A and B are shown apart, each in its own frame.
Chain A
Amino acid sequence: MVNFGGWDMPLEYSGILAEHLAVRTKAGLFDVSHMGEIEIRGARALDLVQSVTCNNAAKLAIGQAQYSGLMTAAGTFVDDLLVHKIADTHYLLCVNAGNQDRDYEHILANNAGAEVENAGARYTQLAIQGPLARTILQRLTSVPLDPIRYYHFTFGHVNGVNCLIARTGYTGSDGFEIYFPPEHSEALWNDLMEAGGADGLVPCGLGARNTLRLEAGMCLYGHEIDETTTPWEAGLAWICKPDKGDFLGRDSLLQQKAAGIKRGLAGFVMHDKLIARDGYPVLSEGREVGSVTSGGPAPFLKQNIGMAYVPPELATPGRHIEISVRGQRAAAQVVELPFYKRPR
């Protein structure tokens, strides 16, 4: 067990490799009840969501979810989050465990007339991920899961428990995240394990959650993004929509774009067996030009991969860089993100 944002969480059950491969080829179950939930309600709900996040929540249909960033006035990340539109006057934000309270304070500080609830204690979240996730979850619910498209959700009963059932995830594989009252946590976990055990469903810990998201090229708060990085730098221009109207950080983001981005997030693959880890220096022509934000083995791709901030001209697929691995210079090449893309 490790302490993660105040929660005692298992790093691994059967082993990170086995859990990672199960999610890519069969299915894995993650207890992600540490994730925070903030609910925003009322006639001004959309205005508030729009004013603190960088993506355009006005584009959401009811039953649709969106990846977004909670912004500082400087256009940097207070957090990254999922915005779920439950109704025209009701949004549910799923935020990082360690950031939940300051996210809540930050949203409150910018509130003008919406109801804001720090609702983490009312929800457990379980994530079932992998190519067999839908088949397994379907055994416990009469809600047709196949029609739920990626980044959409619905409400329905899973083994008698009313859940928000979202086709989202943090693994790069197909799957669902379900949100429900915490008193049902243990029963639903056990029911899911029983329903999927014969198909190879395995419990997965934080270790596999990290290797899977890295292999899928997804950002982790505190690594690729934080209060010093902007969406432009983090390769997240696709969630940054200054054209939607004013929001916190918009002016800074437009200024940064006009002035030119000074660094970009690059994915890289190591050429030999040496493994890049968080914080290792990135070299180009012998000079230190950046540092690794996340690095490690990619168990499914069987390569050693990582992400790093480098000058924008180096953040281009094909460019050769070196990683300083405990004093040894190890060759690496910048590649397109994500490293892993699931077959559709």
Chain B
Amino acid sequence: MVPKDYRYTKEHEWVRVEGDTGTVGITDYAQHELGDVVFVELPGIGATLERGKTLGTVESVKAVSEIYSPVAGKVMAINETLATAPEKLNQDPYGAAWLVKVKLADSKAVSELMDAAAYQAYISEKEKEHSA
């Protein structure tokens, strides 16, 4: 089950909004597709993010994947624990393994992203394609 109060992208990132701050991460579906994560590259604090543009990269044993920012804004904090424990991304993608906290340029823009029900339907469709 995907968390209800988050918003989602088709590239499998999530954002949780509290006031004008958005916390960004990747979904359980994404970590499962990546496999064992060994390195996470995040932007510096103060960096400006554009929606849909590269936020960072996640390296797993088998491949490297770009992470696209679901929101526009300024990076206020990055999750330092991922530098030493990248495997947390496989274990708790919706919680302890958040990637960045962003001061949102426009907190209303988030409503354009998929809600939990829409994302759940989207990944169910993907899984069907996979097993077909």
Contacts and interface: CB of A to CB of B under 8 A. Distances in A.
Contact of A16 (B39, B59, B61, B64): B61
Contact of B39 (A18, A210, A211, A275): A275
B62 interface: yes
A15 B39 contact: no
Chain B interface size, as a band, is 10 to 19
Interface in B17-56: 35-36, 38-39
B9 to A, nearest CB: 21
A277 B35 contact: no
B contact face: mostly helix, strand, loop, or mixed: mixed
Nearest to A211: B61
Given A296-B62, A297-B61, A15 B35 contact: yes
Interface string A323-341: 0001000000000000000
B39 A17 contact: no
Nearest to B62: A207
B107 interface: no
A207 B62 CA distance: 7
Given A275-B64, A277-B64, A16 B57 contact: no
Contacts of A211: 61
A145 interface: no
Contacts of B38: 275, 297
Interface string A285-321: 0000000000011010000000000000000000000
Nearest to A274: B39
Contact of B35 (A16, A210, A275, A326): A16
A211 B61 CA distance: 8
Interface in A248-285: 273-275, 277
A141 to B, nearest CB: 33
Contacts of A20: 61
Given A275-B64, A277-B64, A15 B36 contact: yes
Contacts of A296: 61-62
Nearest to B63: A277
A11 B33 CA distance: 11
Q: Most chain-A CB neighbours within 10 Å: which of B35, B36, B61, B63? A: B61
A83 B5 CA distance: 60
A326 B36 contact: no
Interface in A1-44: 1, 11-12, 15-18, 20
A115 B59 CA distance: 49
A23 B117 CA distance: 41
B83 to A, nearest CB: 9
A271 B63 CA distance: 19
A275 B59 contact: yes
B61 A207 contact: yes
A11 B62 contact: yes
A207 B57 contact: no
Nearest to A206: B62
B36 A17 contact: yes
Given A11-B62, A297-B59, A326-B64, 9 more contacts: A1-B130, A15-B35, A18-B36, A20-B61, A274-B39, A275-B59, A277-B63, A277-B64, A299-B61
18 contacts: A1-B130, A15-B36, A16-B35, A16-B62, A207-B62, A210-B62, A211-B61, A275-B38, A275-B59, A275-B64, A277-B64, A296-B61, A297-B38, A297-B59, A297-B61, A299-B61, A326-B57, A326-B64
